[in-house]
Structure formats: C-alpha cells, structure tokens
C-alpha cells in the first residue's frame, strides 16, 4: 500500500477539481475510463417479453455469436418503462445456467436412472406410444350410445408458459387426434 498522502484524500481531490457532488473527475480512474458495458460487443439486440408473470414487461436481449450475453428491461415499453423484477432481471441465467438440460433423457420402466437417447429415436417412440394409447382408450360412443369419437388414453398439462401459436397447434393436434384431456395452469 502506498503511503498516506493528503493529495489522495477524496475531499481534497473533490475540492481541487471543483467536483461539487463527487460524481465528476474526482472519482474517475484509468480503470473506470477503460470499463465497457458488455452490451457494447453485442452483434444484435432484439425486443422480447419477460417469460415469468403476466405483466408482460419488455426485454431487450443482447446477442453475440448466437449466444445471449445480457438481458435488460426495454425502456420503450409503455407497460414496464424499462423495469424488470428480480425474476426478469435473472432471466439471462434461465438461458445460460450450466444445469440446463440440453439433451434428451429416457427412463425405461423400472430403471433406476436416466439414459441419453437420440432425439429422432425419442420422437419415434413417442409417436408410436401416442397412437397405441389413443387406440387403447378409444371411445366411439358414450353410455347413452351418443357418438363421442375420442380417446381418454392421452392427457396433456401445460400452456401458460409457452406461446399462443404453440397452444394453438397443441389444441388442434390433440383435438384432431380425439384427445380431450388438455389442461394448463389456468385451471390451477
């Protein structure tokens, strides 16, 4: 540590540089001068919406090399005026946290652990099981003999955290397949 010097005393520096509020030259340093926001290197900034609650705060997503490097509030939004709550402010971690599961996992009947399987294989297995379950619990008529044309073998839960366009395809596909037990968080 350097020896104490009156010249380094903050009040002295502030008075000498006529920096009345201590927010000007008296608090600047080479380190400060060279600091750059990480958003400066972004290739792109896109407008988005916070994925947590239903206030619908605007987000700006900063991207570099196909990676999200920063997320902040969008000051243009008339709803949020640039603000985010702790969850919205933490949403960069939602994207980049190391524990995020990026590969398909499969747990066989009675197995004690996961195994990794190929995405293609998993999709085929799910499609096969979908048709089998549909068949197993197909109902042409109800107890009164009225046509119902449905299957009770498949159910789905979820929709409040995903997009309108996605909910639309889910409802359309399941209804066309005869599956009626489609639900989401709005019921809870």
Partner 1 sequence: MANADLILIQGSNMAECHPVGFQWVTEAKQRGAKVIHVDPRFTRTSAVADKHITIRAGSDIVLLGALINHMIENDLWFKDYVTHYTNAAHIISEGFAGPEDLDGLFSGYDDELQGYNNETWQYEEDPDAADGIAKDMTLQHPRSVFQILRRHYSRYTPEAVEDMAGISQKDFKYLADAFAENSTRDRTTCIAYALGWTQHSMGAQFIRTSAVLQLLMGNMGRPGGGIMALRGHATIQGSTDIPTLFNLLPGYLPFPVAGKHDTLQDYFDESFPQDQKGFWHNGDAYMISLLKAWFGDAATAENDYAYHYLPRLTGAHGTYQTLMRMFDKGVDGYFVLGQNPAVGSANGRMQRMGMANLKWMVVRDFQQIETATWWRDGPEIQSGELKTEEIDTEVFFMPAANHTEKAGTFTQTQRLVQWRHQAVTPPGDARSELEFFHDLGKRLRERLQDSTDPRDRPLLDMTWDYPVDEHGEPDAEAVMKEINGFYTTGPDAGKPLDNFNQMKTDGSTAGGCWIYAGVYAGGVNRAALRVPGDKQDEMAQKWAWAWPANRRILYNRASADLDGKPWSERKKLVWWDEDATKWVGHDTPDFPIDRAPNAKSEKGVFGPDALSGDDPFIMQTDGKGWLFAPMGMKDGPLPTHYEPAESPVSNTMYPQQESPSRLLITAEGNQLAPASGNPGSEVYPHVFTTYRLTEHHTAGGMSRFLPYLSELQPEMFCEVSEELAEEYGLESYGWATIISPRGAIEARVLVTQRMKPVRAGGKTIHQIGLPYHWGVGKEALITGDGANDLLGMTLDPNVFIQSAKAVACAIQPGRRPRGEALVEFVNEYRERAGITEMTGQSRLTYERDPETMEIAEPPTLSEPEHHEGDKLV
Nearest-approach distance from CB 137 to partner 1, in angstroms? 6
What is the nearest approach in angstroms of partner 1 to the Cβ of residue 69?
Answer: 10
Q: How far is the CB of 43 from partner 1 (least distance, A)?
A: 10
Q: Which residues, numbered 124-143, are part of the site for partner 1 (CB under 8 A)? A: 124-133, 136-138, 140, 142
CA distance 115 to 125: 14
- Name which of residues 47 to 106 contact partner 1 (CB under 8 A): 47-58, 61, 63, 66-68, 71, 75-81, 83-91, 93-95, 97, 99-106
Q: Residue 65 in 3-state DSSP?
A: coil
Binding to partner 1 in span 3-32, by CB under 8 A: none
Number of Cβ atoms within 10 Å of the Cβ of 73: 19
Pairwise CA distance, residues 116 & 139, whole Å: 35
CA 12-9-1 angle, 5° bins: 155
Min. distance of Cβ 72 from partner 1 in angstroms? 13
Question: Distance (Å, rounded) from C-alpha 9 to C-alpha 6?
Answer: 5
């Amino acid at each position: 540590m350097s020896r104490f010097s009156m010249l380094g005393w903050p009040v002295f520096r502030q008075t000498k540089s006529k920096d009345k509020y201590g927010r000007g030259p008296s608090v600047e340093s080479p380190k400060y001068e060279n600091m750059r926001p990480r958003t400066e290197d972004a290739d792109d900034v896109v407008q988005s919406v916070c994925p947590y609650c239903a206030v619908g705060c605007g987000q700006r997503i900063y991207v570099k090399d196909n990676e999200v490097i920063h997320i902040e509030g969008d000051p243009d939004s008339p709803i949020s005026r640039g603000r985010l709550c702790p969850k919205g402010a933490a949403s960069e971690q939602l994207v980049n946290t190391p524990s995020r599961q990026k590969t398909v996992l499969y747990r066989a009947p009675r197995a004690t652990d996961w195994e990794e399987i190929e995405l293609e294989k998993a999709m085929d297995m799910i499609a096969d099981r979908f048709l089998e379950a549909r068949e197993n619990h197909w109902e042409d008529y109800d107890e009164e003999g009225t046509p119902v044309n449905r299957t009770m073998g498949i159910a789905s839960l979820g929709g409040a955290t995903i997009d309108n366009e996605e909910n639309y395809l889910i409802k359309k596909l399941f209804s066309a397949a005869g599956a009626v037990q489609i639900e989401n968080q709005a019921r809870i």
